[in-house]
C-alpha cells in the first residue's frame, strides 16, 4: 500500500489546509512558531558557551574575519600576515560584519552561524508546510532542528550550514518556478503575478552558494535541479526554462559572484595556472590554489598539503543513522510514501530524493568528512516529516523503537554515573583523557580520547542527558505521533544543552583561549608557538597578537608562505634559540607532548612557566 497525505489511515494524517481557509491551531500555523522556538533555544542559546572558541578551524575563522575588519582588505583572507586562499569569503564577511556591529567577541563570531541555522530550520519547515500540510511541516522542521548532525556540525565556525541554507533557498525557488502553473494535484492554475521574484531568488541563491563554498555551491543545486527535471520527464519543457529567466539570471549571478573572484585573481597573480599537480615550495597564485588545488585536486584526492583524512565510504553512508537521530528511525515509513501520483507532495519527494542522491554520490566519489553531507539534511527532513504525518503502522512502531533506544540510553547513563560516583576530579578533564593525534583529521577524532574516568568531570551534563532520554522514552513508548514528535524535540533540546555543558568542561582541552586571556594581560612581548598556527589559534585570537611559529610551516599556511612578500613568521630551531636568549621579552606556547624537546633546545632553567591549561603551557624567557 502506498500512503499519501489525503489517504492516510488516521485523523492525525497530514491534511494540506493551505488553500482551504481552515483555521489552524497556533502550533500548526504556517509560520511554524514551535520550530522557530526550538531552533532559537538550541542554536541561539549556545552562542555564549563554551566560553572560548576552539583551536583549529573555530578560532581561525574568527581571526581571519577580525583581520579583514582591521586591515580593510575584504578580498584576500590572511592569518598572521600570510595569505590564506583556501575558502570562499562569505562566512568571513558575515563574521566581520558581526564584529563591526557588536564588537570582537566569540559570541559575535558564532552569531551568523546561529542565525543561518535558525533560518534554515524555518525555511525547511515552511517548505514542508507548503508541500505537505501543516502537521507535516511541523514534523519536518522539528526533524531538522533537533537532529544530532545539525547541532554537532555547527559547533565550529565552518560554512557548511550557510551553504545548506543557500542550497535550500535555491531549490525552494526552483521548485516554486516549476510549480508556477500547477496546483497541489498537478492541474493547471493561474500563473504567478510576479514572474521575476522566484527566478531572482534562484540565481541569488546560486551566487550565495558559490561565495560560501566555491563551485559546489553551483554544482549541487544545478545538478539536483537537472536530475529532478529528468526524473519528472520535464527536462525539455521550454516553458520551465523560460521561467528561469536564464539571460537575466546569469547576469545577476555573475554580478554577485564574479567580482570577488576576479579581484582576488588580480591581487594574487599569476592570473591563470592550470597545473594539475601540487608540491611543497611552489606558488601559483590564487586561481590555481582556489580552483585547481582546493576544488579539482581535492575531489581527486590529490590536493596539497594533505592535511585531511577521508571517512570510509560505508561509514559515510551508515553514519546518517546517527546524524539524523532520533528521526532516522522513522526512515522505514519513507519507503511507503507516494512518489508517482504527480501531486505537489509526490514531486517534492522526488526532488528530495534527487537532492540526497546528488550530495551523497558526489562525496562517495570524492574525499569526504562526516559533515560534508550536511547540505542534504533538509531533504531527509522533507521525507521524514510527511512520512510521520501519514500515521502508518510503521511510524508507530518506530516511535516504540525510539522509546526502547532512549530507555537503554537512560540506563547506560545511570550506570556510568554510578561507576564514577566516587571518582575524584583533580585539575581539568585533560588529565583524564588519552591522546590519539592520528584520529584528529576526522571530525569526531577526539571522541576516542574519552576514558571512564573522564565521565566524572561530566556528571552534570550526564544527569541532564539522562533526564532528556527519560522524557523521550515516556513520550514515545505510548501516545500519538504528535506527542512523540514534541517529546523528542524536548528530549533533543535538553540533550544538546547537556552537550553544551560538556563542551564547557572540555574547553581547556579543546581551546588555548585561557592562555590567550592570560597573555592579553601580560607585558607586551614576542609570541612564539611551538606548533602550526592551527594548534594554538584560540591563543592568537584571545591574546589579539600575531606571532612566530616554530617548525610550523606545514599544512594550511604553507602555500601562502611562499607568496611574494609573505612575512617571515616561520622559524626553525636555531632561530628560536637566538630569539629566546636575546634581551627581548618573549613568550612561547607549547603542548605538553613537545615540552621535553623544547627544554632540550634552550634548557629548562630559561623556561619560566607562567600559565598552564589543558596540557598546554605558556613560558616566558625572563
Of residues 191 and 290, more confidence is placed in 290
Please answer whether residues 533 and 557 qualify as being in contact, where contact means their C-beta atoms are separated by less than 8 angstroms.
Answer: yes
- So what's the pLDDT on residue 17? 43
- With bands split at pLDDT 50, 70 and 90, how would you rate the model's confidence at 5? very low
Q: How far apart are CA 558 and CA 541, in angstroms?
A: 20
95 contacts 74 by C-beta, under 8 angstroms: no
Q: According to the model, what pLDDT value does residue 6 have?
A: 38
Nearest to 598 by CA among 616, 622, 582: 616
- Lowest mean pLDDT of 398-402, 407-411, 450-454, name the range: 450-454
CA-based angle 491:496:497, to the nearest 5?
105
Q: What is the mean pLDDT of residues 38-42?
A: 96
Q: How many CB atoms within 10 Å of residue 324? A: 22
Taking only the tens place, the pLDDT of each residue in 121-162 is: 999 999 999 999 999 999 999 999 999 999 999 999 999 999
Closest among 42, 278, 19, 6 to 147, alpha carbons compared: 42
Position 369 scores a pLDDT of 83
Q: What is the pLDDT of residues 78-102, one digit of tens each?
A: 999 999 998 999 999 999 999 999 9
Residue 185: pLDDT band (50, 70, 90) is low
∠ CA(54), CA(55), CA(59), 5° rounding? 75
93 φ, ψ to 5°? -60, -40
3-state secondary structure 34-85: HHHHHHHHHHHHHCCCCCCCCCCHHHHHHHHHHHHHHHCCCCCCEECCEECC
Residue with cell 500540510: 133
Grid coordinates belonging to 229: 527535471
Task: Read off the C-alpha cell for 7.
Answer: 489517504
Please determine, for residue 217, whether its predicted confidence score (pLDDT) is greater than 90.
yes
Answer whether 114's CB lies under 8 Å from 176's CB.
no
CA 51 to CA 514: how far, in whole Å?
9
In angstroms, the CA 352 to CA 441 distance is: 31
Of 37, 218, 199, nearest in space to 121 by CA: 37
Q: What is the mean pLDDT of residues 571-582?
A: 94
pLDDT digits (tens, 9 = 90+) for 58-82: 999 999 999 999 999 999 999 999 9
Max distance between CA atoms of the chain, in angstroms, equals 84
Whole-number Å distance between alpha carbons of 230 and 228: 5
CB distance 134 to 28 below 8 Å: yes
Q: Which residues pair with 587 in a beta bridge?
A: 527, 620
For residue 50, name the pLDDT band (cuts at 50, 70, 90). confident
pLDDT digits (tens, 9 = 90+) for 311-351: 888 888 999 999 999 999 999 999 999 999 889 999 999 99
- Residue 279 class from Cβ within 10 Å (0-12 exposed, 13-18 middle, 19+ buried)? exposed
Digit-coded pLDDT (tens) for 448-494: 788 899 899 999 999 999 999 999 999 998 888 999 999 999 999 99
**pTM of full prediction above 0.75:** yes
Q: What is the DSSP string of 134-190?
A: HHHHHHHHHHHHTSHHHHHTTSS--THHHHHHHHHHHHHHHHHHHTTTB-TTS-B-P
Q: Mean of the pLDDT values across residues 411-438?
A: 87
Sequence ranges of the domains in the chain: 30-390, 398-502, 514-620
Q: What is the pLDDT of residues 583-607, one digit of tens each?
A: 999 999 999 999 999 999 999 999 9
- The pLDDT score that the predictor gives to residue 115 is 96
Is pLDDT above 80 for 547? yes
Angle among Cα 3, 358, 84 to the nearest 5 degrees reads: 140
Local confidence band at 10 (pLDDT 50, 70, 90 cut-offs): very low
- Mean per-residue pLDDT over the chain, rounded: 89
Is 60 exceeded by the pLDDT of residue 31? no
Amino acid at each position: 500500500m502506498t500512503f499519501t497525505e489525503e489517504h492516510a489511515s488516521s485523523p492525525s494524517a497530514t491534511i494540506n489546509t493551505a488553500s482551504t481557509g481552515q483555521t489552524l491551531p497556533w502550533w500548526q500555523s504556517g509560520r511554524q512558531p514551535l520550530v522557530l522556538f526550538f531552533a532559537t533555544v538550541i542554536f541561539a542559546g549556545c552562542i555564549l558557551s563554551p566560553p572560548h572558541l576552539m583551536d583549529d578551524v573555530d578560532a581561525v575563522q574568527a581571526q581571519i574575519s577580525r583581520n579583514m575588519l582591521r586591515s580593510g582588505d575584504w578580498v584576500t583572507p590572511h592569518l598572521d600576515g600570510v595569505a590564506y586562499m583556501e575558502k570562499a569569503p562569505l562566512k568571513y564577511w558575515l563574521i566581520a560584519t558581526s564584529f563591526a556591529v557588536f564588537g570582537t567577541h566569540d559570541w559575535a563570531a558564532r552569531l551568523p552561524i546561529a542565525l543561518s541555522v535558525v533560518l534554515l530550520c524555518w525555511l525547511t519547515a515552511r517548505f514542508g508546510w507548503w508541500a505537505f500540510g501543516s502537521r507535516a511541516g511541523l514534523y519536518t522542521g522539528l526533524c531538522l532542528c533537533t537532529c544530532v548532525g545539525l547541532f554537532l556540525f555547527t559547533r565550529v565556525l565552518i560554512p557548511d550550514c550557510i551553504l545548506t541554507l543557500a542550497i535550500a533557498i535555491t531549490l525552494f525557488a526552483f521548485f516554486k518556478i516549476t510549480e508556477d502553473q500547477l496546483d497541489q494535484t498537478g492541474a493547471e492554475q493561474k500563473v504567478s503575478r510576479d514572474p521575476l521574484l522566484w527566478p531572482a531568488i534562484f540565481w541569488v541563491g546560486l551566487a550565495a552558494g558559490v561565495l560560501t563554498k566555491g563551485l559546489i555551491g553551483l554544482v549541487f543545486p544545478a545538478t539536483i535541479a537537472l536530475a529532478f527535471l529528468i526524473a519528472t520527464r520535464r527536462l525539455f519543457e521550454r516553458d520551465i526554462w523560460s521561467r528561469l529567466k536564464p539571460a537575466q539570471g546569469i547576469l545577476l549571478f555573475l554580478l554577485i559572484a564574479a567580482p570577488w573572484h576576479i579581484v582576488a585573481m588580480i591581487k594574487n597573480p599569476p592570473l591563470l595556472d592550470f597545473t594539475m599537480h601540487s608540491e611543497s615550495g611552489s606558488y601559483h597564485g590564487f586561481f590555481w590554489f582556489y580552483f585547481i588545488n582546493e576544488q579539482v585536486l581535492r575531489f581527486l584526492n590529490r590536493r596539497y598539503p594533505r592535511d585531511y583524512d577521508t571517512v570510509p565510504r560505508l561509514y559515510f553512508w551508515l553514519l546518517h543513522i546517527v546524524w539524523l537521530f532520533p528521526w532516522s528511525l522513522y526512515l522505514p515509513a519513507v519507503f511507503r510514501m507516494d512518489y508517482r501520483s504527480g501531486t505537489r507532495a509526490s514531486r517534492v519527494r522526488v526532488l528530495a530524493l534527487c537532492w540526497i542522491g546528488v550530495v551523497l554520490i558526489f562525496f562517495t566519489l570524492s574525499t569526504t568528512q562526516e559533515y560534508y553531507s550536511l547540505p542534504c539534511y533538509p531533504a531527509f527532513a522533507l521525507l521524514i516529516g510527511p512520512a510521520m504525518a501519514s500515521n502508518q503502522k510503521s511510524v508507530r512502531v518506530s516511535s516504540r523503537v525510539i522509546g526502547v533506544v532512549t530507555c537503554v540510553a537512560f540506563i547506560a547513563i545511570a550506570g556510568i554515573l554510578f561507576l564514577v560516583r566516587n571518582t575524584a576530579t583533580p585539575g581539568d578533564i585533560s588529565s583524564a583523557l588519552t591522546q590519539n593525534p592520528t584520529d584528529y583529521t576526522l571530525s569526531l577524532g577526539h571522541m576516542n580520547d574519552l576514558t571512564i574516568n573522564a565521565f566524572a568531570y561530566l556528571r552534570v551534563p550526564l544527569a541532564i542527558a539522562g533526564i532528556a532520554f527519560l522524557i523521550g522514552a515516556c513520550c514515545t513508548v505510548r501516545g500519538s505521533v504528535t506527542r512523540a514528535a514534541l517529546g523528542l524535540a524536548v528530549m533533543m533540546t535538553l540533550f544538546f544543552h547537556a552537550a553544551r555543558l560538556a563542551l564547557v568542561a572540555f574547553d581547556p582541552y579543546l581551546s588555548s583561549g585561557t592562555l590567550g586571556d592570560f597573555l592579553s594581560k601580560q607585558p607586551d612581548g614576542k609570541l612564539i608557538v611551538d606548533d602550526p598556527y592551527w594548534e594554538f589559534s584560540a591563543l592568537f585570537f584571545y591574546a589579539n597578537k600575531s606571532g612566530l611559529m616554530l617548525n610550523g610551516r606545514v599544512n594550511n599556511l604553507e602555500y601562502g608562505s611562499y607568496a611574494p612578500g609573505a612575512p617571515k613568521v616561520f622559524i626553525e630551531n636555531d632561530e628560536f634559540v637566538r630569539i629566546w636568549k636575546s634581551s627581548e621579552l618573549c613568550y612561547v606556547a607549547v603542548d605538553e607532548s613537545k615540552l621535553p624537546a623544547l627544554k632540550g633546545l634552550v634548557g629548562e632553567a630559561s623556561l619560566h612557566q607562567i600559565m598552564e591549561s589543558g596540557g598546554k603551557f605558556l613560558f616566558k624567557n625572563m
